[in-house]
């Protein structure tokens, strides 16, 4: 037994799922006409090839070609059997044809209740009329009048689809799908004729012509034009670099043609995902389309072609960075955020762009190429806060510290060893940063120890420990360093105080049994005159006020959040010094 096919159901399937727009019937009829002309030329006939589309009153269209036509047996085989195709079944000639699946004519049922075909085969002198309906019935009859070799399809609009049968809409669709076809296409209404074809497709234009073409088509001037070729896919095309930033999530809209017939104006996968900053206009002779002819079959050939086109873009950008560095820098600047994101995900893309990306460093904003030229050892911070804590001091120690706190920067810097020799990259531990400074001598350590012990007692409740070192610049009295682990531990302590008994026990176990308590670090600069004066005062009250002022000043300089307790501490210490100064002034006046 055989399956029974509900043709009406198949037509609804085509309308709602296979084809993205009812207007594709124009493309399917164009394709059949051009393929018929190709088939007749293969027979060796000499004729003036053409496809003519005529718009009549009462929402009727005709598509005529002077191609090879169909015999009665071919009509039975290829029009009455869904999925059968002269182009696919004849593998020896398939490369000459656009269509392969034998379902294209069904697209006409999406917009019309009946298809009428008048045809005369180049191999048979009897003209035939075929009428097909969406319920699966059809008739074939010989007609007495003489008709030229070729085929003509007549369609009358369904209610609701009249728009697709109006001159302006048909003209728009013919131009969209067929303006670059080699076979002449003519649109006719009454006595007015319009030729649809354009002599030069964009992939055959020189750079200046292509720039002007894209600007006219998109209303924005591209930054540059990249030629695209693939020998294995028979591909020629261009990629125009977008003059505005785009998100990696934005829909890619590459215009793709098969043998000069538009397949899709929003294909998103013909170029590699990393090529987000370009839109392509591409023509191929070899890739095989899907049944809807709006995409390509994703086979080995497709992926090989995509890789080859990606290599075209990469080679061009490498040459551009050397021959036109200003333009290349402008491209990087416009697409900076997305370039950084994609560089993390794609190794080849990373190698292409990493030397041209800028980073915030302890020596200011620098390109990675300049960073690598000036330093063989790089430290990168895990957060913006950590970078701010050490940036100024690191510069005076001649340490190259890169801010890894911005999106993707940490991974970008860490991976630089993959593309650069003789460079080391380490994650900076800010709590060990002071270990890089010069230690005090034994006598100096003895002098400063009572002050540090006093500082530790005062700052114990703030989870902070003290030490003293020599470091530059001398105008920085103290350096406060903390990290996310310290902040997390403080949060747990706050939560423990505020939680109900059950969660209090849970937090207590996590805090005291799973973690060794971390401490922030306040490093006094023994090179700073104010710090030396505070230490030498030996006055416990002055020590307290000095330590509290140094601590809160360090928080402010490092952009650390200050609670009410820290604000009160800062105000009280400032007031104490103001009172001392004012009292001293009053004594002098007396």
Range with lowest mean pLDDT among 152-156, 263-267, 425-429, 515-519:
515-519
Range with lowest mean pLDDT among 14-18, 54-58, 351-355:
14-18
Do both 189 and 40 map to the same domain?
yes
Mean pLDDT across the stretch 487-491?
53
Of 176, 195, 214, at which residue does a domain stop?
A: 195
DSSP β-bridge partners for residue 362? 364
pLDDT exceeds cutoff 80 at 413: yes
Mean pLDDT across the stretch 74-103?
53
Do both 50 and 171 map to the same domain?
yes
The upper half-sphere exposure of residue 365, i.e. CA atoms within 13 Å in the direction of its Cβ, equals 3
Of 195, 229, 244, at which residue does a domain stop?
A: 195
Confidence of residue 498 (pLDDT cuts 50, 70, 90): low
Q: What pLDDT does 98 receive?
A: 40
Mean pLDDT across the stretch 497-509?
54
Torsion of CA 563, 574, 576, 523, to 10 degrees: 80
Range with lowest mean pLDDT among 13-27, 61-75, 362-376:
13-27
Confidence of residue 507 (pLDDT cuts 50, 70, 90): very low
Residue-wise pLDDT for 540-564, tens only, equals 889 999 999 999 998 888 778 888 8
Confidence of residue 93 (pLDDT cuts 50, 70, 90): very low
**Beta strands at 424-427 and 377-380: parallel, antiparallel or unpaired:** parallel
CB atoms near residue 376 (< 10 Å): 12
pLDDT exceeds cutoff 60 at 502: no
What CATH number does residue 103 fall under?
3.30.565.10
165: in domain? yes
DSSP β-bridge partners for residue 359? 366
Do both 206 and 188 map to the same domain?
no
Do both 169 and 265 map to the same domain?
no
499: in domain? no
Mean pLDDT across the stretch 143-154?
92
Residue-wise pLDDT for 300-335, tens only, equals 999 999 999 999 999 999 999 889 999 999 999 999
Do both 148 and 60 map to the same domain?
yes
Q: What pLDDT does 249 receive?
A: 80
The number of domains in the chain is: 4
What CATH number does residue 542 fall under?
1.20.120.790
Whether 242 and 198 have beta carbons less than 8 Å apart is answered as no
1: in domain? no
Q: What pLDDT does 6 receive?
A: 67
Angle in degrees, 0-180, between the axes of helices 167-178 and 24-42, rounded to the nearest 10: 50
Range with lowest mean pLDDT among 11-25, 169-183, 206-220:
11-25
- Can you tell me the distance from the alpha carbon of 60 to that of 112, in angstroms, rounded to the nearest whole number? 9
337: in domain? no
Structural domain span for residue 253: 202-327
Do both 268 and 399 map to the same domain?
no
Q: What pLDDT does 141 receive?
A: 92
Q: What pLDDT does 220 receive?
A: 93
CB atoms near residue 7 (< 10 Å): 16
13: which 2 tokens? 């399937």
Residues 6 or more apart whose Cβ sits within 8 Å of residue 544: 454, 458, 573
Q: What pLDDT does 577 receive?
A: 86
Q: What is the 3-state secondary structure (H, E, C) of 197-250?
A: CCCCCHHHCCHHHHHHHHHHHHCCCCCCEEEEEECCCCEEEEEEECCCCCCCCC
345: in domain? no
Q: In this structure, which long-range contacts are made by residues 579-588, counting pairs with CB atoms below 8 Å and at least 24 apart in sequence?
A: none
Instruction: Tell me how many degrees the CA angle 258-256-176 measures, rounded to the nearest 5.
Output: 90
- pLDDT > 90 fraction of the chain, expressed in percent and rounded: 58
What CATH number does residue 232 fall under?
3.30.230.80
Which residues in 242-276 are b (16+ Cβ under 10 Å) and which e?
bbeebeeeeebebbbbbbbbbbbeebeebbbebbb
Do both 43 and 188 map to the same domain?
yes
Q: What pLDDT does 515 receive?
A: 56
Q: What pLDDT does 4 receive?
A: 63
- pLDDT > 70 fraction of the chain, expressed in percent and rounded: 86
User: How high is the mean pLDDT of the chain?
Assistant: 86
pLDDT exceeds cutoff 70 at 58: yes
Q: Could you identify the residue written with the tokens 């298809």?
A: 115
What CATH number does residue 419 fall under?
3.40.50
Mean pLDDT across the stretch 108-120?
90
Q: Could you identify the residue written with the tokens 């990249």?
A: 226
- Can you tell me the distance from the alpha carbon of 294 to that of 298, in angstroms, rounded to the nearest whole number? 13
Torsion of CA 38, 43, 46, 52, to 10 degrees: -30
Whether 477 and 553 have beta carbons less than 8 Å apart is answered as yes
Do both 138 and 257 map to the same domain?
no
Do both 140 and 221 map to the same domain?
no
Q: What pLDDT does 88 receive?
A: 43
Q: What pLDDT does 90 receive?
A: 47
Closest CA relative to residue 434, chosen from 467, 457, 460, 404: 467
Q: What pLDDT does 144 receive?
A: 87
561: in domain? yes
- 32 CB burial (10 A radius; 0-12, 13-18, 19+): buried
346: in domain? no
Q: What pLDDT does 146 receive?
A: 86
Do both 453 and 414 map to the same domain?
no
- Can you tell me the distance from the alpha carbon of 342 to that of 328, in angstroms, rounded to the nearest whole number? 17
Of 169, 195, 221, at which residue does a domain stop?
A: 195
338: in domain? no
- Can you tell me the distance from the alpha carbon of 560 to that of 461, in angstroms, rounded to the nearest whole number? 17
Which of 82-96, 135-149, 505-519 is modeled with the greatest confidence?
A: 135-149
Do both 288 and 239 map to the same domain?
yes
Do both 423 and 450 map to the same domain?
no
The model carries a pTM of: 0.75
């Amino acid at each position: 037994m055989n399956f029974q096919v509900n043709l009406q159901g198949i037509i609804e399937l085509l309308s709602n799922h296979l084809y993205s727009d009812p207007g594709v019937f124009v493309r399917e009829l164009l394709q059949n006409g051009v393929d018929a002309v190709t088939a007749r030329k293969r027979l060796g006939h000499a004729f003036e090839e053409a496809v003519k589309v005529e718009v009549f009153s009462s929402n009727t269209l005709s598509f005529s070609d002077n191609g090879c036509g169909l015999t009665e047996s071919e009509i039975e085989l290829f029009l009455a059997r869904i999925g059968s195709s002269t182009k696919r079944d004849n593998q020896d000639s398939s490369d000459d044809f656009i269509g392969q699946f034998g379902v294209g004519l069904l697209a006409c049922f999406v917009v019309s209740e009946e298809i009428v075909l008048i045809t005369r085969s180049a191999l048979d002198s009897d003209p035939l009329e075929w009428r097909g309906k969406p319920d699966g019935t059809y008739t074939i009859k010989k007609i007495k009048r003489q008709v030229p070799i070729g085929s003509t399809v007549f369609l009358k609009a369904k209610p609701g689809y009249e728009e697709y049968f109006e001159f302006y809409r048909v003209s728009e669709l013919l131009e969209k799908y067929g303006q670059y076809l080699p076979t002449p296409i003519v649109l006719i209404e009454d006595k007015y004729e319009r030729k649809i074809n354009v002599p030069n497709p964009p992939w055959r234009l020189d750079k200046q012509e292509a720039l002007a073409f894209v600007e006219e088509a998109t209303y924005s001037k591209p930054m540059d034009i990249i030629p695209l070729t693939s020998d294995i896919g028979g591909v020629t095309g261009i990629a125009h670099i977008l003059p505005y930033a785009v998100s990696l999530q934005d829909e890619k809209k590459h215009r793709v043609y098969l043998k000069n017939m538009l397949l899709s104006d929003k294909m998103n996968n013909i170029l590699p995902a990393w090529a987000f900053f370009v839109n392509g206009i591409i023509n191929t002779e070899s890739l095989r389309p899907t049944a809807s002819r709006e995409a390509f079959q994703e086979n080995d050939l497709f992926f090989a072609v995509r890789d080859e086109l990606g290599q075209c873009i990469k080679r061009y950008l490498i040459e551009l960075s050397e021959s036109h560095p200003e333009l290349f820098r402008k491209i990087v600047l416009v697409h900076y955020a997305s370039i950084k994101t994609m560089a993390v995900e794609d190794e080849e893309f990373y190698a292409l762009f990493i030397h041209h990306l800028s980073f915030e460093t302890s020596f200011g904003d620098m390109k990675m190429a300049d960073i690598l030229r000036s330093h063989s050892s790089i430290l990168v911070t895990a957060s913006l806060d950590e970078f701010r804590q050490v940036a100024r001091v690191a510069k005076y120690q001649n340490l190259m510290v890169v801010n890894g706190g911005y999106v993707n920067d940490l991974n970008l810097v860490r991976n630089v060893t993959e593309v650069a020799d003789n460079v080391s990259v380490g994650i900076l531990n800010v709590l060990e940063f002071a270990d890089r400074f010069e230690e005090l001598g034994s006598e100096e350590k003895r002098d400063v120890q009572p002050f540090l012990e006093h500082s530790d007692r005062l700052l114990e409740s703030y989870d902070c420990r003290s030490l003293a070192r020599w470091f530059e610049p001398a105008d920085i009295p103290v350096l406060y360093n903390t990290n996310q682990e310290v902040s997390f531990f403080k949060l747990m302590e706050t939560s423990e105080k505020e939680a109900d008994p059950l969660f209090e026990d849970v937090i207590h176990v996590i805090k005291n049994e799973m973690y060794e308590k971390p401490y922030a670090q306040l490093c006094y600069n023994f090179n700073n005159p104010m710090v030396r004066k505070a230490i030498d005062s030996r006055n416990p009250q002055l020590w307290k006020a000095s330590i509290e002022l140094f601590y809160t000043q360090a928080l402010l300089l490092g952009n650390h959040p200050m609670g009410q307790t820290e604000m009160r501490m800062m105000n009280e210490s400032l007031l104490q010094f103001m009172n001392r100064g004012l009292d001293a002034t009053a004594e002098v006046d007396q």
